[in-house]
Structure 1
Amino acid sequence: MLSIDDKVISAQDISSKFKVFSNTSYLKAQKGSVAVCIESVTDWLSLCFYAKEAGLTVMPIHASTPEALAKKYADRAGCYALIYQTLDNVTLFPENEAPDTAPGLIQMSSGTTGEPKSIKRSWRSINQEVSAYVSHFSAPNSMTPVIACPVTHSYGLICGIFVGLARGKHPRVFTSINPKHLLKALLKLEQPLLYSSPLMIDTICMLWPSNSKLHAVMTSGTLMSGPVFERTKSKIKHFYQQYGCSEAGCVAISKTFDRANVIGEVLPHVTVKAGDNSKAPSEMVIKVKQPLDGQVSEIHTSDLGYFETIDGRRQLCFVARQDDTIIVSGLNVYPKDVEDIVLTHPHIKDAVLFKVKDHSTGYRAFLQFCAPHRFSDEDKAALRRWCYQHLATYQVPFDFVQVDAITRLPNGKVNRKAIAESYQLEAETQAVTA
């Protein structure tokens, strides 16, 4: 049993949909992969449960995706059918029809460093992840999972819904993420565990009554900034964080969220190679044994990290994306280090550091920021002086770009590459028109 918004979806409701699916020609086992891009979360989850039970491969596509783009994603992923918006609106790709010996779930990576990729995981691999997650992280056994994030992605779908059901709990899914509506729901529940983004968690904490604490939260996708972490932790009784990737699912869970960059203990079904200490981070390489054939997959994450022993436990710590690291005068500048400091400035409300190619130096670091008032040239000069007081010289941004709002992906991540490309395009346009 689960709830979607305020509607309870019973096992009987889902089984009735199973009967419809079983008589649908394009939902036959061993035929291939089916892409699903529909508004109804009930229909999507019912179809996902059916696929898992019947041995089908499904690929969820966010419901806001235009049909032409959804077709492109489906075809590129090798799907033989696309269900778009309604269950009877189906596009077939006969050339992609082929036997599927390892049914499962196809997920699109976030694509923050380039062209989005379609990554398939078998249902057996997902079951292995869920089992490891439940056995390793038993604290939420008495909590009610509240999923306020997309259930077309593995964080909400696998870690929120599948894990919650595996614990015998009643997951609550919220599709329209209205903070005040979510707040009311959380206040009515006993021991809720909120799965959401750092931005939503921060918003809920600002609205939360001062005489109590939110029972538990889980954050993922992107690290909280230092200032956000500091102001939210006093409002939350149990603060958790997890780390993973599309190829392996959840890899590590921080059971005691003491620092924003601590992503926790590695789950028992995987191994991770990373740096030995904070001064020598290295790429986090994940190894996972596949349950079908016993082969070991090695996943290069392009994320920099290191291990640190905290309270007697070996914890994985995140530093930065390799592609986001900016080399200035031969020294590594990690964006989050700079952003956390800049966000302590009394007038900076949001910030992101990105790199722009420079013909003479290779790359320069630029800071895009939001503030409650428009910064004059004098204000920016003062901000630069402030940065020199609080950052190492090589960490100080080359220039400061004020915007009304920083564009973020649904999971809270920023696309630094897109921000850099937009900045460069605007700079080139201004140079031509000048």
Structure 2
Amino acid sequence: MSERSWLAAYPEGVPADIDASHYPSLVTLMEEAFAKHAGKVAYSFMGKELTFAQVDAQSRAFAAYLQSLGLEKGDRVALMMPNMPQYPVAVAAVLRAGFVVVNVNPLYTARELEHQLKDSGAKAIVIIENFAKTLQDGMHGSAIKHIVLCAMGDELGLVKGALVNYVVRSVKKMVPAFSLPGAVRFNTALSQGRGAAFVAPSIQPGDMALLQYTGGTTGVAKGAMLLHSNIIANVLQSEAWNDPVMKQVPAGEQPTSICALPLYHIFAFTVNMMLSMRTGGKTVLIPNPRDLKATLKELSKHRFHSLPAVNTLFNGLANHPDFGTVDWSHLKVSVGGGMAVQSAVAELWLKKTGCPICEGYGLSETSPSVTCNPVNAKAFSGTIGLPLPSTYVKLFGGDGQEVSEPGQPGEIGVRGPQVMAGYWQRPDETAKSMTADGYFLTGDIGTMDARGYVKIVDRKKDMVIVSGFNVYPNEVEDVVSNCPGVLECAVVGVPDEKSGEAIKLVIVKKDESLTEQAVRDFCQANLTGYKRPRHIVFRSELPKTPVGKILRRELRDA
């Protein structure tokens, strides 16, 4: 295919390239926002608002506190919290002090936490008390010397904060007993930091900003080294891509995004938190998006323009009885990522909100966004869209050569300013994942049409081979999701004596009257013989990561 043939399909006004050198560091980007938007609300959380000026003051104090501990430039600081204001304050503080953020999934087991703490070499951790017992059990053998404990009510003021903390600790019993001698409370650290000196270090574009561990769904979790320049590039790419619809927000109205994805996940880190810093936007923090009723109640209080989410969340919201209590009329962009968006979900979302889901694609290793559908599209394309500005995508065949014919599958390779510097302390893994000409090999198999639209056919390892025929689970799932009575579904391959592998389909019902025969009839009408499921299982729910990605591995193992 000709070099960047997809540029012809770009929406009007979206540039071919962005200037990734616009900011020398994320600190410069954030400090510009603190100065420019000081009086505006940066974060809204449980009815409490935090302005850009407050985030500036708190993060500066917290940065001074961290420096007072004797940490040195480049030291790693782990953050283990759900969506709460202490998280963005801590991120700004860690980066301003010249340290590296290590994002930790707060739902990790002690074993998973232990691996990440040891692997990253983090010397300090900021953690919500709910998971302090996990830290107590999982920090053995790690380099952790300093612990800062947060509570859900820290930022909510004296009365409301005390009430929330009482409910969390004593009524809902969400804080198991723990012993962490020497741990300091978040608000104590802030007050100590206000009296300490802060020395702004020199930070270069090539300095590491994040150690972002890949989900671990592919084996042992590895740390992707994301530089300041990587995240800046992806923020500017995302801003340029969203501009055709975001410029429709009336002048004087603050752009507002809903952050229902966890901020420790790179998707929300970049497209919610850092992009909102860049645009002076308000971010509404949703601590637990799995509680759909509480999420919709919070959404009903805001006028918002942007909602990045995964397919499972769009589906859950659109099918919830309280969906109509929210004013969706100002929503300009619904970005779907993290997993394939199903056509049935996209159709329902468009019908109910009038705002199409723009499916995109990215990885921890690419900060994360690589491709996205045009935000001004009116129909669901079933693809992951076009490569973003300054991004080059090639498909590689099994021989390592570029696939030249449109529609021919190959492994997706990505080159651009958002691609990581490599895997932390894993030069062998880094070498395996990069081509000689600088393309990162994603492990995802895709096709590209003549216009440059990319479609994922699946991960290398998720492909099922039935009697020599390749079956891609995404395709079968997309078909079955349109079967009346199906709420969610997932497909895996299981061993089979006759065909080598067979298709196993796991379904969560929307309608209890749905039968196995009805599903089989639907599949017979819509799928060729070898793609039809041999085994059909009904379950009350599907196993998922905290981001909402379906864990096919667990279904396979079951």
The TM-score with structure 2 as length reference comes to 0.66
Structure 1 pair 276–223 and aligned structure 2 pair: CA distance change class (3 A): farther
CA distance in structure 2 between the aligned counterparts of 1:290 and 1:199, rounded to whole angstroms: 26
Q: Distance in 1 between the 2:232 and 2:214 partners?
A: 20
Q: Matches of 1:344 and 1:176 in 2, distance apart?
A: 28
**Deviation, structure 1 residue 152:** 0.7
In structure 2, the partner of 1:209 is 324
Greater Cα shift, 73-82 or 323-332: 73-82
Name 2:379's counterpart in structure 1.
258
Q: Does structure 2 retain, via aligned residues, the 8 Å contact 1:308–1:315?
A: yes
Q: 1:412 maps to which residue?
A: 548
Could you say which residue in structure 2 is the equivalent of 1:242? 360
CA distance in 2, matches of 1:262, 1:276: 19
Aligned to 1:19: 61
1:270 — aligned with what? 391
Moved more, 145-154 or 316-325: 316-325
Partner Cα separation in structure 2 for residue 78 and residue 303 of structure 1: 30
Change (3 A) 1:149 1:38: closer
Measured against aligned partners, the alpha-carbon deviations of 1:373-416 in whole angstroms (never above 9, x if no partner) come to 488xxx53564344223210111112112222211222222121
> 1:258, 1:292 → 2: CA distance?
32
How far does residue 244 in structure 1 lie from its aligned partner after superposition? 0.6
Contact 1:21–1:27, Cα closer than 8 Å, also in 2:
no
Unaligned runs of 5+ in 2: 1-41, 146-202, 250-254, 396-402, 422-435
- The one-letter amino acid paired with 1:314 is G
Matched residues in 1 for 2:74 and 2:301: separation?
45
Amino acid at match of 2:479: I
Whole-angstrom distance in 2 between the partners of 1:62 and 1:268? 30
Structure 1 residue 51, shift from structure 2 partner: 2.1
1:329-380, Cα deviation, whole Å (9 max, x unpaired): 22211112212222333343322110123455432211112334488xxx53
Comparing 246-255 with 169-178, which one deviates more in the overlay?
169-178
Paired residues of 1:276 and 1:306 also in contact (CA < 8 A): no
Alpha-carbon distance in structure 1 between the residues aligned to 2:93 and 2:256: 24
Consecutive unaligned residues of structure 1, counting only runs of 5 or more, are 423-434
Tell me if the contact between 1:17 and 1:46 (Cα under 8 Å) persists in the aligned partners. yes
Aligned pairs, how many?
A: 412
Counterpart AA for 2:546: P
Query: Partners in 1 of 2:472 and 2:493 — Cα distance?
Result: 11
Give the direction of change, closer, same or farther, for the CA distance of 1:199–1:170 in structure 2 (3 Å limit).
Answer: same
Letter of the 1:317 partner, please give it: K
Change beyond 3 A, Cα 1:278–1:345? farther
**SS of structure 1 residue aligned to 2:454:** strand
Say if 1:273 and 1:361 are closer, same or farther in 2 by CA, change over 3 A.
same
In structure 2, do the counterparts of structure 1 residues 117 and 384 end up closer, same or farther at CA, with 3 Å as the change threshold?
same
Q: TM-score, normalised by structure 1?
A: 0.84
Assess if the C-alpha contact under 8 Å between 2:415 and 2:439 holds in 1.
yes
> Does the alignment pair 1:392 with 2:433?
no
Q: Shift of residue 296 of structure 1?
A: 6.9
**1:336-415 to 2 correspondence within 5 Å?**
336-358=474-496, 361-371=499-509, 372-373=511-512, 379-381=515-517, 383-415=519-551
CA distance in 2, matches of 1:404, 1:94: 41
**Is the 2:465–2:501 Cα contact (8 Å) retained in structure 1?**
yes
Matched-pair contact (CA < 8 Å) for 1:288–1:296? no
Residue aligning to 1:428: none
The answer to whether the 8 A contact 2:58-2:89 is kept is no
* Alpha-carbon distance change, 202 to 402 in structure 1, aligned in 2, over 3 angstroms: closer
Q: CA RMSD in A?
A: 3.3
Residue 328 in structure 1 maps to residue 466 in structure 2: yes
Question: Which residue number corresponds to residue 70 of structure 1?
Answer: 113
Q: Which moved more, 1:158-167 or 1:81-90?
A: 81-90
Kindly indicate whether structure 1 or structure 2 has the higher relative contact order, using CA contacts under 8 Å at least 6 residues apart. Answer: 2
236 and 304 in structure 1: CA distance in 2 versus 1, 3 angstrom threshold: farther
List aligned pairs for 1:9-88, cutoff 5 A: 9-14=50-55, 15-24=57-66, 25-26=68-69, 28-38=71-81, 41-67=84-110, 69-85=112-128
* Residue deviations 1:266-298 (CA, integer Å, cap 9, x gap): 1123211136677422111111247999x9742
**Counterpart amino acid of 2:556?**
A
Q: Compute the displacement of 1:148 (Å).
A: 1.0
Work out whether residues 37 and 65 of structure 1, in 8 Å CA contact, stay in contact via their aligned partners in 2: no
| Aligned residue in 1 for 2:207 | 102
**SS at 2:261 equivalent:** coil
Instruction: Please give the secondary structure, in 1, of the residue aligned with 2:492.
Output: strand
Paired residue for 2:349, among 218, 232, 235?
A: 232
Deviation at 1:102? 2.6
Is this contact kept in 2: 1:225–1:260, CA < 8 A?
Answer: no
Indicate yes or no: 2:45 matched with 1:4: yes
Q: Secondary structure at the residue paired with 2:220? A: coil
Answer whether contact 1:242 1:251 (CA < 8 A) is retained.
Answer: yes
Q: CA deviation at 1:62?
A: 1.9
Change (3 A) 1:308 1:16: same
Shifted more, 161-170 versus 103-112: the winner is 103-112
Letter in 2 for 1:307: M
Structure 2 residue identity aligned to 1:192 = H
Query: What percentage of residue pairs aligned between the two structures are identical?
Result: 20
Task: Output the CA distance in 2 between the equivalents of 1:33 and 1:210.
Answer: 43
Structure 1 letter corresponding to 2:503: A
What is the letter of the counterpart of residue 209 of structure 1? G
Distance in 1 (alpha carbons) for counterparts of 2:221 and 2:124 = 20
What do the CA deviations read for 1:1-21 (whole angstroms, capped 9, x no partner)? 222342212234332343233
Question: Could you list the per-position Cα deviations for residues 6-63 of structure 1 after superposition, in whole angstroms to 9, with x for gaps in the alignment?
Answer: 2212234332343233233457342521222245722221111122223211111122
- Counterpart code for 2:535: D
